[in-house]
């Protein structure tokens, strides 16, 4: 093989249409209901699929009734439908087993993270008066138990509050409930 460079790039395998759909359905089955942004993050973090391939697969799956989409405040929520589960059972062998295994291995931890994000959410909003608002919530079974809207002077401080909220949300919630119920005085 004279003249062939060892440094020649080997073409990367591109997922076909069926593979993209099967991997998307498999991810939704493992993760459960999740937002478009969460699904994008999972697929990118695991190197399963890029943004454009995922969006193409989601559109086709939604159009075929294999994925259901519902609107959330700032994003779409996706979940696999019974038709999607049936399709997955029929075509799962068409996807690379290594990718299916990665989803199975990484899925439970990512699912726990999604659950935590739903239970203890926080986001920053910048208003016209150069103030930053941090909207923080504790949610249980899709019902807000506590909502706090803090106005802060800087983006950095707002980001710090947002980032620390998941860690301290439960303690803050418990403190407020205890104080208002009069269970802990002092």
Q: Could you tell me the residue range of the domain that residue 154 belongs to?
A: 127-181
Residue 9 located in a structural domain: no
pLDDT class of 13 with cuts at 50, 70, 90: low
Q: Decide if pLDDT at 106 tops 90.
A: yes
> What is the distance between the alpha carbons of residues 21 and 15, in angstroms, rounded to a whole number?
10
pTM: 0.67
Please check whether residue 120 lies inside any domain of the structure.
no
Quickly state the pLDDT bin for 65 (edges 50, 70, 90).
Answer: very high
Question: Residue 26 above 90 pLDDT?
Answer: yes
Instruction: Quote the longest CA-to-CA distance of the chain.
Output: 85
Say if 29 falls within a structural domain: yes
Mean local confidence (pLDDT), 11-18:
72
Domain count, the chain: 2
- CA-atom Rg of the chain in angstroms: 22
pLDDT, tens only, 112-157: 888 777 778 788 888 777 788 888 888 776 778 888 999 989 889 9
pLDDT reading at 173 higher than 80: yes
User: For the chain, what's the residue count?
Assistant: 186
Among the candidates 68, 95, 115, a domain finishes at 115
Q: 135 and 105: one domain?
A: no
Distances (CA, A) of 92 to 18, 27, 89: 9, 12, 6
For residues 53 and 105, state if they share a domain.
Answer: yes
Q: Are residues 28 and 52 in the same domain?
A: yes
Q: What is the mean pLDDT of the chain?
A: 85
Assigned domain for 96 exists: yes
């Amino acid at each position: 093989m004279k003249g062939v460079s060892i440094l020649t790039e080997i073409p990367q395998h591109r997922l076909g249409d069926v593979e993209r759909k099967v991997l998307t359905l498999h991810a939704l089955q493992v993760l459960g209901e999740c937002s478009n942004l969460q699904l994008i993050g999972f697929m990118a973090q695991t190197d399963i699929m890029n943004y454009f391939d995922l969006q193409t697969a989601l559109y086709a799956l939604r159009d075929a009734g294999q994925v259901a989409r519902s609107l959330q405040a700032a994003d779409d929520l996706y979940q696999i439908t019974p038709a999607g589960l049936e399709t997955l059972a029929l075509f799962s062998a068409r996807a690379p087993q290594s990718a299916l295994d990665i989803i199975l291995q990484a899925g439970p931890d990512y699912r726990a993270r999604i659950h935590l994000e739903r239970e203890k959410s926080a986001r920053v909003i910048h208003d016209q008066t150069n103030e930053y608002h941090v909207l923080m919530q504790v949610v249980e079974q899709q019902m807000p138990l506590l909502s706090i809207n803090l106005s802060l002077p800087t983006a950095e401080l707002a980001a710090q509050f947002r980032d620390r909220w998941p860690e301290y949300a439960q303690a803050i919630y418990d403190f407020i409930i205890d104080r208002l119920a009069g269970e802990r005085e002092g």
